[in-house]
Amino acid sequence: MKKYLPSLGFFLLLLFLWETAVRFLGIKEYILPAPTQILQSLGETSALLWEHSIQTISETLLGFILAIGVAIILAMLMGVFPLFKRSLYPLIVVSQTIPIMAVAPLLIIWFGYNLLPKVMVVALVCFFPITVSLVEGLEAVDTDMVKLLLAMGASPWQVFKKVRLPGALPSFFAGLKIAATYSIMGAIIGEWLGASKGLGVFMIRSMNSFLTARVFAAIVVISFLSLAFFALIIVLARVVMPWQQHNS
Q: Is the pLDDT of residue 1 over 70?
A: no
Give the tens place of pLDDT for each residue, 143-155.
Answer: 777 777 777 777 7
Share of the chain above pLDDT 70, in %: 97
Give the pLDDT band of residue 245 (cuts 50, 70, 90).
low
Q: Considering the entire predicted model, what is its pTM?
A: 0.85
* Mean pLDDT (whole number) for 92-107: 83
* Mean pLDDT (whole number) for 201-228: 92
* Mean pLDDT (whole number) for 220-227: 93
Give the pLDDT band of residue 77 (cuts 50, 70, 90).
confident
Residue by residue, DSSP assigns the chain as -GGGHHHHHHHHHHHHHHHHHHHHHT--TTT---HHHHHHHHHHTHHHHHHHHHHHHHHHHHHHHHHHHHHHHHHHHHHH-HHHHHHHHHHHHHHTTS-HHHHHHHHHHHHTTSHHHHHHHHHHHHHHHHHHHHHHHHHTS-HHHHHHHHHTT--HHHHIIIIIHHHHHHHHHHHHHHHHHHHHHHHHHHHHHS-SSSHHHHHHHHHHTT-HHHHHHHHHHHHHHHHHHHHHHHHHHHHH-HHHHHH-
Instruction: Domain 33-247: give its CATH code.
Output: 1.10.3720.10
- pLDDT for position 193: 81
Q: Is the pLDDT of residue 79 over 80?
A: no
